[in-house]
Amino acid sequence: MQAFAALLDSLSFQPARNAKLRLIETYLRQAPDPDRGWALAALTGGLDFPAAKPALLRSFGEEKIGAELFHLSYDYVGDLAETLALVWETRPDAGPPPSLSEVVETLQRATKMQTPAILRRWLDTLDSTGRWALLKLLTGALRVGVSARLAKQAAANIGDQPVGEVEEVWHGLSPPYRPLFDWLLNGGPKPSSNMGGAFLPPMLANAIERAELDALDPAHFRAEWKWDGIRVQVAASGGVKRLYSRAGEDISKAFPDVVDAIDFEGVFDGELLVRREDAVAPFNDLQQRLNRKAVTPKMLKEHPAHVRLYDALWLEGEDLRALSFDERRARLEAWMARTPRPRFDLSPLVPFTDWVHLARLREEMRSDGIEGLMLKRADSTYLAGRPKGPWFKWKRDPMLADCVLMYAQRGHGKRSSFYSDFTFGCWRQTADGKRELAPVGKAYFGFTDEELRWLDKWVRDRTTNRFGPVREVEPKLVLEIAFDGIARSTRHKSGVAMRFPRINRIRTDKPADEADTVDNLLRFVP
Amino acid sequence: MTDTLNPRSWLYPTPRGLYCEPGGFYVDPAVAVDRAVITHGHGDHARPGHRNALATPETLAIMRARFQGMPDTTQQPLKYGESVKAGDVDVSLVPAGHILGSAQAVLEYRGQRIVVSGDYKRRPDATCPPFEPVPCDVFITEATFALPVFHHPCDASEIGQLLRSLETFPERTHLVGVYALGKCQRVIKLLRAAGYDKRIWIHGALASLCKLYQEHGVDLGDIALASDAILETFKGAIVLCPPSAIADRWSRRFFDPIPSMASGWMGVRARARQRGAELPLIISDHADWSELTQTLTDVGAPRVWVTHGREEALVAHARSIGIEAEALHLAGREEEDET
Ligand SMILES: [Zn+2]
Ligand SMILES: [Zn+2]
């Protein structure tokens, strides 16, 4: 536990991606099995035990040093788990601290009633970093700035494998991932992939602008509408049916209507939409489904989900990824034509003669459900990651930018108890080559009341700093900002000022790393 | 000991600092005064321009180094354990364990003893003699880290973290922010104690005080000015600098440095992040919560005046164990300062 705690501690302070990778790699190489497997599970969000409630932590603290001192301490530190970790002292006579596997395996078996006594004993044996890590693990919020993908990347690195290989076998494995480490470190066999509804690492597109298109031959490309939903992967194999977000997060539970309708085997890319009759509902409707833990029958009826397929990775027991786009498309169309399925349809190709023609089609298409166009090379094989050249997304104007929430301030009047004024930023390179967020604007509206409540909670849970009424938050949440114009400005730190910015939607599906850069914004400047 | 004598009648705070009336002197005054007793050389305790200054020889040496030789101040060195009469008050200086030369001022008047502890810590420090508890009627304690969240871990384990990071990132410069007086030299000594015998690089602003420590017999091993070397040298090196230099253009000379910081505040994550530390080291020259509470027990004073930091929690604790405690607000002390 202490080694894992030291890892979390270092990760929480190291902002640089490469340094984080190095820390995780070093740990994974040095830690024994099954500790490292449980650690990898913790970092990828794969551990599941009953969370300790804040009230329990508070009662422990008050019991230890009294209510007054605990209150003063919590007030100063600002984080309950950290406060308790700091005020609780190690007892020299309490014996050796538990290993990570002991912690995980004990908690998985323990009943809710037993947990407090076990916890108390562990707190006595660990040092303050160990206590902090344990409490973070128990409250289900590590927040050390490591995405599941980054952790998988580190695992891949220790075995000199591309991360795509690890992601491919990932969903066929479960913690503590012994076969994975056996393969990566000890020359063992590669665990089998695509068994039991495995997620296959997706192929992603690069953004493109009108001017850049002229360098490309339109005859080499196919066009599809870019739907305003969520990119998903439908994976059904070995009797297991799953729906994944593009980041590989299993979202099956939130969409039983889609998952129940899977009566086939295969792996497909598509867009998750809410569809009423034949119309695609606004993104907000989908958002409502996405943020729910439990899905009510009413929800299912009023917000029916639907997947619009546009690619086939596996079909009829065959891996299609080495085939060209045209070949995969032909297979997909033929398969769809054989059996119509009400929850699934095919995203049509958009025929065009040249870029001028396509640009006009894009201008004329004024449906809310469409974000722009996808351009895919006819001969492109399916490559994991974001290869440069084969796939492009050509987004529709109004100006949209994906920004990262940086600060929130309490509103006024009716909203005075809510954090409702949001300052967001975009990435830029500092003089010494680091990436940092520069604030680019402030938005007060564009969200529903429900989204406001959600944002308010998010801000409170992820505050890193307070300056009077303003809270600084972890740079984790991507907000899609719509705006009417943008101009260079010397008054703003980032050098740009937005006109009429509003929160278009909350992009919980998008990693903050992938938000826009200030340079991206500058391209909007007329 | 005369219970009838109110200690506040002969030692009390004024806008210029803590004043001892029958002695005619101030202790660590915030401005230049006629007569001052100085507990130690940190800037919030030792100020320039006093006409007379009484302190340990080491503290006077530090003051001379910082204040251009202090030609206009009459300096009265007083060794640890020696005593001198100032007006009607007996003054002696006792080790505080804080930094080189640091002392508690022990003041006795009409049978009553007040100890002004200045800044202190209780754990071992190779650069100065350890704190000596002096039984007294009134104990004036600092409260920089007076919250139960502050339990500074052992120094060796913090230095171990620095050395482990050097192993994990052998190509990166480890840039450690330290206060020039005390922390800098202590961190060097701790590294030496952990077996690190390579050259340690220092920022120019740390040079004169390192030299002063060396002249006082503190062996710092192989240290050199960071400005004197070419970039390549700093791969995997430890460079000490004032905390402010980390964010300064000065640090751009190093390739991909890891900003570190050695300070008691590093124990609280939000504070460490605020200071931009990617490798926080909890190394403090001040007593943590257990040291503070232990000291109240050790000196056994029925009255405690709390100054300099988070008085509230320590006052509450002292009262809970039957000590008559109150906060004493002194001019010139910045709450967030750690010196
Ligand atoms: Zn001080
Ligand atoms: Zn000091």
Give the pLDDT confidence of A164-205 residue by residue, as tens digits.
Answer: 889 888 877 778 898 899 999 999 988 876 556 778 888 989
Provide the 8-state DSSP code for A328.
H
What mean pLDDT comes out for the span B306-333?
89
What is the DSSP pairing of strand A279-280 with strand A266-276?
antiparallel
Whole-angstrom Cα distance, residue A214 to residue B91?
A: 88
Q: What share of chain B is helix, strand, coil (3-state, %, to 5)?
A: 30, 25, 45
Q: Take residue A57 and report the two structure tokens written for it.
A: 């932590």
Identify whether A53 is part of a domain: yes
Q: Residue A157 falls within a domain, yes or no?
A: no
Average pLDDT, stretch A479-499?
Answer: 80
Element (H, E) at A232: strand A230-237
**Per-residue model confidence (pLDDT) at position A290:** 76
pLDDT in tens, B205-221: 999 999 999 999 999 99
Name the percent of chain B lying above pLDDT 70: 96
3-state helix, strand, coil in chain A (%, to 5): 40, 25, 35
Domain contains A151: no
Residue A381 sits in a domain of what CATH number? 3.30.470.30
Select the highest-mean-pLDDT range: A51-60, A289-298, B238-247: B238-247
pLDDT at B88: 96
- Does residue B41 register a pLDDT over 90? yes
Task: Say what the pLDDT of residue A395 is.
Answer: 80
Residues paired with A485 in a beta bridge:
A499
Distance from CA of A491 to the nearest CA of B (A): 23
pLDDT digits (tens, 9 = 90+) for A298-345: 888 888 999 999 999 988 778 898 899 999 999 999 999 998 898 999
Which candidate, A475, A387, A481, places its Cα nearest to that of A441? Answer: A481
- What was the pLDDT predicted at A286? 81
Segment B238-260 shows an average pLDDT of: 89
Instruction: Please confirm whether the linkage preceding A34 is cis (ω < 30° from 0).
Output: yes
Whether B268 contacts A82, CB under 8 Å: yes
Residue type, A282: P
Residue A413 CB partners (closer than 8 Å, separation 6+): none
pLDDT at A239 over 90: no
Whether residue B66 is predicted with pLDDT greater than 60 in this model: the reply is yes
Question: What mean pLDDT comes out for the span B76-93?
Answer: 97
Residue B49 zone, left/alpha/beta (φ > 0; ψ -120 to 50; rest):
left
**Calpha distance B329→B15 (Å, rounded):** 10
The strand pairing partners of A272, in sequence order, are: A230, A307
pLDDT band at A526 (very low <50, low <70, confident <90, very high): low
Percentage with pLDDT > 70 across chain A:
96
Looking at residue A95, its pLDDT comes to 86
B278/A13 touch (CB, cutoff 8 Å), yes or no: yes
Residue A473 lies in a domain: yes
Mean pLDDT of A31-45: 93
Domain identity same for A269 and A347: yes
pLDDT at B336 exceeding the cut of 60: no
Would you mind telling me the total number of residues written for chain B in this entry?
A: 339
Examine the fold and report which residue of A345, A366, A395 is the final residue of a domain before the chain moves on.
A395
DSSP B28: S
Please check whether residues A406 and A386 belong to one and the same domain.
no
**Which tokens in the block code for residue B172?**
């990166």
CATH code, domain carrying A417: 2.40.50.140
| Two structure tokens written together for B203 | 């920022």
Residue A451, helix vs strand vs coil: helix
Q: In this structure, is residue A186 part of a structural domain?
A: no
Name the residue facing B279 among A13, A66, A87 (closest C-beta): A13
Ligand 2 midpoint to CA B42 (Å)? 5
Residue identified by tokens 């914004």 is A521
Whether residues A299 and A441 share a domain: the answer is no
* Distance (Å, whole) CA B49 – CA A230: 70
Same domain, A484 and A378: no
Residues A453 and A381 in one domain: no
Please tell me the number of the ligand nearest to residue B309's CA.
1
Q: How far is B268 from chain A (nearest CA, A)?
A: 7
* Distance (Å, whole) CA B284 – CA A292: 47
Q: Which two tokens stand for residue A522?
A: 């500058």
pLDDT of residue B4: 79
- CA A512, A516, A519, A521 torsion: positive or negative? negative
Lowest model confidence (mean pLDDT) among A17-26, A162-171, A508-517, B143-152: A162-171
3-state secondary structure of A431: coil
The C-alpha angle A6, A10, A14, rounded to 5 degrees, equals 170
Kindly report the average pLDDT of chain A as a whole number. Answer: 88
Spatial distance between the Cα atoms of A384 and A390, rounded to a whole number of angstroms: 12
- Report how far ligand 2's centroid is from the alpha carbon of A524 (Å): 54
In this structure, the answer to whether residues A415 and A371 fall within a common structural domain is: no
Predicted confidence (pLDDT) per residue in B252-281, tens digit:
788 889 999 999 999 999 999 888 899 999
Mean pLDDT of B120-135: 97
- On whether residue A162 sits in a domain, the answer given is no
Pair B231, B255: CB distance under 8 Å: yes
Nearest to A13 by CA among A127, A126, A97, A132: A132
Q: Which domain holds residue A483?
A: 399-522
Are residues A283 and A360 both part of a single domain?
Answer: yes
Pairwise CB contact (< 8 Å): A89 & B268? no
Handedness of CA A51, A54, A59, A60 (dihedral sign): positive
Tell me, yes or no, whether A185 lies in a domain. no
Closest Cα partner for A141 from A73, A70, A42? Answer: A42
- What's the rounded mean pLDDT across residues B113-122? 97
Q: Are residues A128 and A45 part of one domain? A: yes
pTM for the full model?
0.66
Q: Which of A115, A139, A163 is the last residue of a domain?
A: A139
User: Does residue A513 share a domain with residue A381?
Assistant: no
**Above 50 in pLDDT, residue A128?**
yes
Same-domain check for residues A437 and A422:
yes
Rg (CA), chain B: 20
Residue in B272, B279, B313 nearest the CB of A72: B313
Choosing from A374, A395, A416, the residue where a domain stops is A395
**In a shared domain, residues A336 and A436:** no
For chain A, which residues lie within 8 Å of any Cβ of chain B, measuring from their own Cβ?
A: 6, 10, 12-15, 19, 22-23, 26, 65-66, 68-70, 72-73, 76-79, 82-83, 86-87, 89, 127-128, 431-432, 464-465
Q: In this structure, what are the phi and psi dihedrals at residue A284, rounded to the nearest 5 degrees? A: -55, -35
Mark whether A101 and A73 lie in a shared domain. Answer: yes
Q: Is the peptide bond before A176 cis (omega within 30 degrees of 0)?
A: yes
Q: Looking at the 3D structure of chain A, how many domains does it have? A: 3
Per-residue pLDDT tens digits for A344-360: 999 999 999 999 999 98
pLDDT at B96 over 70: yes
Contact flag B252-A19 (C-beta cutoff 8 Å) = no
Q: What angle do CA A253, A256, A257 make, to 5 degrees?
A: 155
Strand ranges (E), A293-369 = 305-315, 318-319, 344-346
Q: Evaluate whether residue A180 is within a structural domain.
A: no
Q: Residue B2: is its pLDDT beyond 50?
A: no
Instruction: Give the mean pLDDT of chain B.
Output: 93
How far A368 CA lies from chain B's nearest CA (Å)? 42
Q: What is the percentage of chain A residues whose pLDDT exceeds 90? A: 52
**Closest CA in chain A for residue B148:** A87
Residue B153 has pLDDT above 50, yes or no: yes
Looking at residue B275, its pLDDT comes to 86
B58 pLDDT more than 60 = yes
Residue A248, Ramachandran bin (φ over 0: left; ψ between -120 and 50: alpha; else beta): left
Nearest to B58 by CA among B26, B113, B20, B98: B98
